[in-house]
Each structure stands twice: as structure tokens, then as C-alpha cells.
Structure 1
Amino acid sequence: MGVEEAKKIIMETFANTARRLGQSELIGYIYGALFLSDKPLSLSEIAEMTGYSLSHVSSAMKVLEGVGLVQRIKKPGDRKAYFITTKNFGEWRSSAFYENILRDIEETRKNLLRALSEITEESQEAQRIKEKIKKAIRRNETTKKLLLIIMKFKSEEEILETLERCLKEE
């Protein structure tokens, strides 16, 4: 039960994040399903994993593609569309206020750690999920550090000017 419980925690965490950012929980469930998968998933596979209808999943997928969280790919010889996650979940967070983002980062961290602690078995799948969770924890910490740095600036212009100076110095 450890791996399945960890998967459930991950899916719920992404669904809760979607809700907090004013999106449908389905957006989070889809992202969670893709995050946990080792292969691109079709719309029907995602619908089956999330329990939502194909039409709902298709509509939600347009939102995820629009904000750059997922990418549509084609497999040679297959007419179906498949989807993978992109590595910019932090960009989604940036659409909310900084304090809400920090709360979300901390809740995500707690849930990732909780999911990790649930996995007590030593199967290949358990090891694969553990590695994905550990990577997500590292990304979560990096996102928090970057956000805290950004929050020290007074304006977006100041951030851009600082970044431009850094690039010129490089």
C-alpha cells in the first residue's frame, strides 16, 4: 500500500495547488498523473487514471498546454496525441501572490516528505517513485530560495535591471 498511498498524496497535492490558484482540481490531477508516469500518456489513459471524462480531460489539457505545464507529442505510426510534463511548475505558481506561493511551496514540501515516508517497500516501482519525489523536493527547495530572493526586490523593474547587470557581467 505504500506506493499507492504516496501516489494518492502526490495527486491530491497537485489538485490542491490547482484549487488554490483558482483552477479546477482536474488540472492538478492531470499534472500529478503525468508527473508520476515514466512515459507519455494519452488522453484516454489520463481520463482512466483521474476518473474524469475524456471531454473534461481534453478541456483541462488545453489549459495545461496554454500555461506550458504539459507538452503534446506524437509517436511515430500512432494517431493519438500523448502528453508529458514540462519542467516549469514554478511558472504556474508565479501567477499567484508571493505569500500564497510560499504557503503552497511549504505545503507541497510537507506532502512530498509525507509521501516519501509512506514508501517502505523496496520494489522497483517504489524506488522509481522515491527518486521522483526526491527530485521534486530539491526543485521545491530551489523554487523557495528563488522566490525569497525575488521577494527582496521592490519592483519587477528592479529584478530585470539586476538580472541584466548579472548577464552583462558574465
Structure 2
Amino acid sequence: MGIEEAKKIVMEHFAGAARRFGFNELYGYIYGVLFLASEPMSLGEIAETTGYSLSHVSTALKFMERIGLVVRIKKPGDKKAYYRATKLLRDWRQAAYYGKIMEDIQQTRANLERALRELEGEEGEEAESIRESITFAMGRNALAERILKFLIEHEDEEVLERLLNCLESDEKR
């Protein structure tokens, strides 16, 4: 029973992650099944394993392929499409939530800029206080955008190595 329970735990984890990031839990179950699979799986195998219908799984796989969570594979002499999960942390992060975070950062910047424009010509203590708050938020937002771009543009190993170097140099101080 240990193997099946371990599989269930992993699948539930990815289903929960999908829900937390605003996706249908089916995406998480599919990702979990493919993450654990030693070989690429067909649509039918995925549907059977997850317990979802072929049409639901097919629709989910199309979306997941489009955002980079799964890769479709054709085997020579076989008309079926097979799928495998992308297992690189970078691919998962980008597909699952980096895009949404970047959208939020860009929307935040646009709204803060719009709010600043509304304050043009306004004077007084309240207007200055609001300007300061917006300027502070814009600085933090720009920093978040730089960090996210770095995470998106660099390989996991480089990100981890630089982070470790920062932590180690901080410990030496």
C-alpha cells in the first residue's frame, strides 16, 4: 500500500498547488501522474489513472501543453500522442505562476503610475503623503519585477548558486 499512498500524496500535492494558483485541480492531478510516470503516457492512460473523462483530460492537456507544463511526444509508427511532464523547476515556475505574478506586477505599475498622474497639480499634506506611499510602492514593485525577470531568465543552477553565494557572504559578515 506504500507505493499507492505515496503516489496519492504527490498527486494531491500538485492538485492543491493547481488550486492555490487559480487552476483547475485536474491540471495538478495530470501533472502529478506524469511527474511520477517513468515513460510518457497516452491520453487514455492519463484519463484512466486520474479517473477523469477523455474530453476533460484532452482539454486540460492542450492548455498544459500551451503553458509548458507538459510536452507532447509522437512515437514512430504510433498514431497516439503521448505526454510527459516538464520536470525542470524553471519550467514549472514559469508555467504555473511566474506569468501571473508578472501580470500583477505590470498591472500594479500601471495603476500606480495612473494614480500619480491623478495627483499632478494637487498640493497639501495628504497629496504629498499619498505621493510618498505610491513612490515607495513603485520602488518595491520595480524590485519585484527585477527579481522575477532574473528567475525567469536564468537556469535553476545559476539562481541557486547565486543565492547560496549571497547567503554565505552574508553569514561571513
TM-score > 0.5 by shorter chain: yes
Shift of 1:95: 3.7
* Residue of structure 1 equivalent to 2:6: 6
Aligned residues: 111
Percent identity of paired positions between Structure 1 and Structure 2: 54
Contact 1:11 1:33 in 2 (8 A): yes
Shift of 1:63: 1.2
* Residue of structure 2 equivalent to 1:154: 143
Name stretches of at least 5 consecutive residues in structure 2 with no aligned partner: 103-139, 155-173
| AA partner of residue 143 (structure 2) | K
CA RMSD, 1 decimal: 2.7
Please show how residues 131-170 of structure 1 align to structure 2 within 5 Å. 154-157=143-146
Contact 1:27 1:60 in 2 (8 A): yes
Name stretches of at least 5 consecutive residues in structure 1 with no aligned partner: 99-150, 165-170
Between 1 and 2, higher relative CO (CA 8 Å, sep ≥ 6) is seen in 1
In 1: Cα distance, 2:148 partner to 2:97 partner: 18
Give the one of 90, 93, 100 matched to 2:97. Answer: 93
In 2: Cα distance, 1:9 partner to 1:85 partner: 17
In 2: Cα distance, 1:57 partner to 1:158 partner: 34
Contact 1:69 1:85 in 2 (8 A): yes
Shift of 1:16: 0.5
* Residue of structure 2 equivalent to 1:79: 79
Contact 2:34 2:85 in 1 (8 A): yes
| AA partner of residue 156 (structure 1) | E
Decide whether aligned partners of structure 1 residues 22 and 155 sit closer, same or farther in structure 2, where only a CA change above 3 A counts.
closer
Shift of 1:156: 2.1
After TM superposition, where is structure 1 displaced by more than 6 Å over at least 4 residues in a row? Answer: none
Higher helix fraction (1 or 2):
2
In 1: Cα distance, 2:8 partner to 2:148 partner: 38
Please show how residues 32-51 of structure 1 align to structure 2 within 5 Å. 32-51=32-51
Contact 1:153 1:159 in 2 (8 A): no
